[in-house]
Structure 1
Amino acid sequence: MSRQTPRKARHSRQPSNRIPAVSDYESDAAAIHADYAPPPPRTNTELNLSVLQRYLPSIHTILSIAANAVIYTFDSASESWEKSGVEGTMFVCAQSPLPGDPGQRSRACVFVLNRRGLDNVIVDLSRVTHAEVSGELVIMKVEGEWQEGDKVLGVWIHNDKDETREVNAAIIQEAWKIARSAGPVEPQGPEAGPAMQAMVRSEVSVRSEESRASKRLEKRGKRGKPIEGRAPEDSDTEKSESGKSEPGELERVRSVSHIPESEKSESPGSESEVDTEYEADTE
């Protein structure tokens, strides 16, 4: 006769407490609001400054703002102004001295946030050898680096108010005089905030992809397959001889300081706050 397997004793469970806990709504709500207090409201200037510091952390003060500005470059061959493709909100900014600068010289810059692309314009005013207001433009002659010649830039500021252009031009000239009198500061290294670093990483990845595509095309060409639409590369013949600006260049620049109406850009608005798309792009 077979024996039945003895059953194991059931686990004795403690009876669950089904009585709901007593809650004081007012005290709970007060505790939640105390832990998750909303951040204090910030002004437009503080928001703009936080966006600019993502590109250049050394910026500590915004001296003036123009809702819309267009950057032009002067072509000495055709003696005319050409659009650079940079257009957006312009800021005249004061920067902190470099940490390694024994003289702790003051710095300032003109910063144009480009709403038409990712290429912003940052003009170090200590490297501007000449600045003046001629007609509708603020003309700046910027020192070139190494073998590059000096560049002449023109800033056309949309006069959304009666004195917008006049006030910004005066502040640019005043900041330039202070920065220039202190002398140019040799940068100790590339200064870049999180937004600039992200743009550099994106540019490097694009260039590496273009390099790989170029190598694939070269391999196809070596196999005897024709590559249409590819021009011969000759950097020596394409590059023009660069040198310092001619003595009479500023005179030629002044003579064409008027921008045709068809070349001007209408301001998208009169608000001085940075577009929200820049904050979204730099997150």
Structure 2
Amino acid sequence: MDLKARKAANLSVLRRHDPSIIDLLDQSSHAVVYCFDQSKAGWAKKGIEGTVFLIKRNVPPHYGIYILNRLSIDNYRLLLTEDLVIELQDEYIIYQTPSDDICCLWLYEVDDRERICKEMIK
């Protein structure tokens, strides 16, 4: 399948979950979501692993991250807002939500991690 056809197929799948998605800006083949467990003072997997997409939507917030979860039917969506704190630290894209949850994305491909993090921060 060529790149254009693959993008169209992925966009179709994602729009079933969120009809407001109008474009796929970037993607990486494998990502894992971790959250910081304050009681254990350590990182714990959130049970979400799969292909990550940087999405554009036709309603605010206009940008986000969507992961099609390979581990369960529960996919993951992170909408990118101005009050989200995002930074690249070593192998992780770490972000803090307005509700003070601290989570991170680990992307298998180093180049993808750096490129997608830059786009998330924009």
Q: Same fold (TM over 0.5)?
A: yes
What is the distance in 1 between the residues matched to 2:57 and 2:27?
15
What is the identity, as a one-letter code, of the residue corresponding to 1:135? D
| Partner residue in 1 for 2:16 | 54
> Judging changes above 3 Å, is the alpha-carbon distance between structure 1 residues 115 and 124 closer, same or farther for their aligned structure 2 residues?
same
Q: Larger Cα Rg: Structure 1 or Structure 2?
A: 1
2:105 to 155, 165, 183: 155
Report what 2:63 is aligned to.
108
Question: Matches of 1:128 and 1:79 in 2, distance apart?
Answer: 24
Provide the identity percentage. 29
Q: Secondary structure at the match of 1:54?
A: helix
Match of 1:142 in 2: 97
The whole-number CA distance in structure 1 between the counterparts of 2:83 and 2:102 is 9
Any gaps of 5 or more consecutive residues in structure 1?
A: 1-41, 98-104, 145-149, 175-283
The count of aligned residue pairs is 119
- Greater share of helix residues, 1 or 2? 1
> Which of these residues, 26, 30, 36, is aligned with residue 64 of structure 1?
26
For residues 121-171 of structure 1, give each alpha carbon's deviation from its aligned partner in whole angstroms, at most 9, with x where no partner exists.
101111752111111110111123xxxxx2111000011xx6222112212
Q: Does 1:164 align with 2:112?
A: yes
**Matching residue's letter, 2:102:** V
- Give the secondary structure class of the aligned counterpart of 1:171: helix
- Is it true that 1:89 corresponds to 2:51 in the alignment? yes
Deviations 1:182-225 (Å, cap 9, x if unpaired)?
Answer: xxxxxxxxxxxxxxxxxxxxxxxxxxxxxxxxxxxxxxxxxxxx
The match for 1:73 among 32, 35, 39 is 35
**Gaps spanning 5+ residues in structure 2: where?**
none
Alignment of 1:200-215 (within 5 A): none
Which of structure 1's runs of 4+ aligned residues deviate more than 3 A?
none
Asked whether the equivalents of residues 31 and 107 of structure 2 are also in contact (C-alpha less than 8 Å), the reply is yes
Tell me how large the CA RMSD over aligned residues is: 1.6
Corresponding residue for 1:241?
none
